[in-house]
Amino acid sequence: MTTKHYNSLAEFHAVRLQAREARELKQHRLAQRWAIIKDPHTRGILLRDALGDALRSWAPYKRVNEMLHGRVSGSTVAAVGMAVASAQQSFVRRLVFSSISMLLGKVIGQQPESSGPGLLNTVASAVGSGVRYMRERRKARHSE
């Protein structure tokens, strides 16, 4: 650390005032950046961007992207994932694969928001309702 000698007390006060102003400006900018990062919407955008970059750098994704000449969209990935999920033997594996395909579809391509729920949401809701109905019916039969 070097020591700087000032010619007068006024020069020292002027430099100290400049340093305080610079510090306050940097503190204000840091607070603004922190507020942006704390926003859940912004964090979601950053997370989707990071996951998309990680997926796009993955070798299998690159091969599929090259095969389709760069025409990979979120809906394509979700549809292929649902087809793979339907080929699984176990219900749990089908559920896991379909969940992963929906998640990857969201990460890869943002679909424009529509006025109502999408097809995948409707299917997932119907499956959930069916499972609840089957459980309630089995429970009612066991109680009789």
- Structure confidence at residue 112 (pLDDT): 46
- Structure confidence at residue 109 (pLDDT): 62
Q: Which domain holds residue 138?
A: 39-112+119-143
DSSP letters for 86-142: HT-SSHHHHHHHHHHHHHHHHHH-PPPP-SS--HHHHHHHHHHHHHHHHHHHHHHHH
Per-position pLDDT tens, the chain of length 144: 678 889 999 999 999 999 999 999 999 999 999 999 899 999 888 888 888 788 778 777 777 777 767 666 677 677 777 777 787 788 888 888 888 877 777 766 654 444 455 555 666 667 777 778 888 888 899 888
Structural domain tally of the chain? 1
Give which of 73, 62, 69 is closest to 105, Cα–Cα: 73
Q: How far apart are CA 142 and CA 144, in angstroms?
A: 5
Q: How far apart are CA 35 and CA 53, in angstroms?
A: 24
Residue 54 domain-assigned (yes or no): yes
Residue 3 domain-assigned (yes or no): no
The tokens for 30 are 């840091």
Residue 104 domain-assigned (yes or no): yes
- Structure confidence at residue 51 (pLDDT): 80
Q: How far apart are CA 41 and CA 18, in angstroms?
A: 36
Q: 0.75 exceeded by the pTM?
A: no
